[in-house]
């Protein structure tokens, strides 16, 4: 079998993202606003590229792939933890499960009833798009770090190692900022938060609660700047059905079988992100307690 070709579009975009990130961190004394914007966008794009890497791109050698995204631009999301939880998330029967899907924003209704009222209010706000962008990075990081700390205390060495390696990646970022960059460290922390906020636009409604797991994953037919920032993962049902396909092939695959993908996810479709902002900027799309709990997991998979 011939060796797999290098995926040059991914490699080129990764190189460009490093350039934009470095440029952003160097421009603070020229324009703080431009510096913040460029760095934030680069961090979000880098996170999307990390997602591409964990699915086996751009090289056949996965160790080489992961070396390309070792620096911890986002600071608080260890790549190894992202990789492991996201690959588990790709077991579609678990999608939206409050316990088995690490990317779910739903709670078990029984847990919701025990949640303090102040946190309930914050989580309701977090279910609007504006709330998800403003509060989502903090809320997500809080629950993620809290869970990982509990697992580390329970003796999970793999998770501890992931955080140690993330610390090395953060040290690389700090070394650049302190040796070459003009952007203050606190400003970089803000840029990382904004980058995470941008990613929350993508994840806001990627999955919905539905009795059929094939119908839980969205299609957003956007082809604008956000589609590039998210590496076409707005065509999310196509990615879930074909996770090994590189990002730049997803639009063509969707266009070739558009009706098929929309039948599969039972028309969970939006035209673009403008429609989503108009509908959900100030209004919650979903309740926080899972509306069809327990999640049904018996449906046979359909991968065509």
The answer to the question of residue 164 being in a domain is yes
* Structural tokens at position 4: 């797999």
The answer to the question of residue 223 being in a domain is no
Which residues, including other chains, have CB under 8 Å from residue 267's CB and lie 6 or more apart? none
What is the pLDDT at residue 63?
97
What is the pLDDT at residue 304?
54
The answer to the question of residue 255 being in a domain is no
Which tens digits make up the pLDDT trace of 122-141? 999 999 999 999 999 999 99
Sign of CA dihedral 167, 170, 175, 178: negative
The answer to the question of residue 123 being in a domain is yes
- 130 vs 124: CA distance, rounded Å: 11
The answer to the question of residue 198 being in a domain is yes
The answer to the question of residue 281 being in a domain is no
The answer to the question of residue 222 being in a domain is no
pTM of the full structure = 0.95
Rg (CA), the chain: 19
List the domain range (segments joined by +) for residue 103: 8-203
For 30-36, which contacts have Cβ atoms below 8 Å and span 24 or more sequence positions? 32/187, 35/182, 35/183, 35/187, 36/187, 36/190, 36/191, 36/194
- The residue assigned the tokens 């190692």 is 161
What is the pLDDT at residue 1?
34
- 43 vs 74: CA distance, rounded Å: 6
Neighbouring CB atoms inside 10 A of 79's CB total 21
Ranges under pLDDT 50 in the chain: 1-2, 300-301, 303
- 251 vs 238: CA distance, rounded Å: 9
What is the count of structural domains for the chain? 1
Strands 219-220 and 269-270: parallel
What is the pLDDT at residue 294?
86
- 36 vs 194: CA distance, rounded Å: 9
- 145 vs 147: CA distance, rounded Å: 5
């Amino acid at each position: 079998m011939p060796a797999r070709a290098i995926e040059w579009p991914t490699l080129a975009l990764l190189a460009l993202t490093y350039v934009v990130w470095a440029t952003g961190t160097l421009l603070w004394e020229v324009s703080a606003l431009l510096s913040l914007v460029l760095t934030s966008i680069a961090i979000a794009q880098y996170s999307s590229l990390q997602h591409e890497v964990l699915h086996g791109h751009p090289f056949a050698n996965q160790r080489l792939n992961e070396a390309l995204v070792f620096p911890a631009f986002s600071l608080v999301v260890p790549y190894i933890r992202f990789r492991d939880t996201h690959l588990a998330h790709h077991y579609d029967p678990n999608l939206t499960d409050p316990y088995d899907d690490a990317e779910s924003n739903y709670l078990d209704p029984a847990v919701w009833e025990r949640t303090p009222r102040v946190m309930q209010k914050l989580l309701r706000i977090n279910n609007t798009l504006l709330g998800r962008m403003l509060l989502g990075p903090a809320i997500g990081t809080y629950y993620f770090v809290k869970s990982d700390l509990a697992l580390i205390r329970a003796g999970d060495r793999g998770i501890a190692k992931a955080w140690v390696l993330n610390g090395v990646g953060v040290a690389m970022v700090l070394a650049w900022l302190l040796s070459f960059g003009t952007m203050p460290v606190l400003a970089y922390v803000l840029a990382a938060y904004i980058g995470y906020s941008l990613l929350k636009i993508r994840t806001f409604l990627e999955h919905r609660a539905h009795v059929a797991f094939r119908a839980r994953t969205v299609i957003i037919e956007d082809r604008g700047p956000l589609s590039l920032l998210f590496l076409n993962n707005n065509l999310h049902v196509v990615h879930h059905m074909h996770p090994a396909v590189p990002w730049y092939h997803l639009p063509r695959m969707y266009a070739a079988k558009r009706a098929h993908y929309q039948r599969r996810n039972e028309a969970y479709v939006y035209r673009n992100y403008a429609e989503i902002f108009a509908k959900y900027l100030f209004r919650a799309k979903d309740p926080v307690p899972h509306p069809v709990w327990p999640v049904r997991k018996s449906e046979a998979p359909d991968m065509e």
